Amino acid sequence: MKVLIQRVKSASVKVESNLVAQIDCGLLAFVGIEKDDIIDTVEKAVKKIVNLRIFPDNSGKMNKSILDTQGEMLIVSQFTLCGDCKKGTRPSFDNAAPPDKAKSLYEDFVKKIRSYGIKTGTGIFGAMMEVNLINDGPVTFMLEFS
């Protein structure tokens, strides 16, 4: 599983020009599910993300988590994170999970984030989406779980 997280002042996602979700301060998470991922991978990723101290404290140090700040989260499925660009000029997506498996684990990811009481918005799995954001910092991390 690969998750690209960005600390944001706001973020939104549209599908076919229709707004489907938006958040204020918090995290935007792009989630790529790989073929070897299982529910344990999801649980490990969620626990890490909700406790990751990437929000500033009163001194401006990254010392608070999304739980500490009561931030919101926008979660968008993005299989292209699983693309391998090492050979040639066209990415290989051999490592991406098949759509049915990816959708199920993506939905588990969203449920587990919500179980922490985090206000959560999502894109639509498999849809072409327009994602808008105001990055805060910018603060961006690429997380990989297996």
Q: Provide Rg for the chain, Cα atoms.
A: 15
Q: Would you state the structure tokens that stand for residue 85, as one six-digit string?
A: 């660009």
Which contiguous run of DSSP H or E holds residue 99?
helix 99-114
Choice among 80, 89, 122, 140 that is catalytic = 80
Q: Is 89 a catalytic residue?
A: no
Residue 37, helix vs strand vs coil: coil
Residue 66's φ and ψ, nearest 5 degrees, are: -65, -30
Q: How far is CA 82 from the centre of its chain?
A: 13
Residues tagged active-site = 80
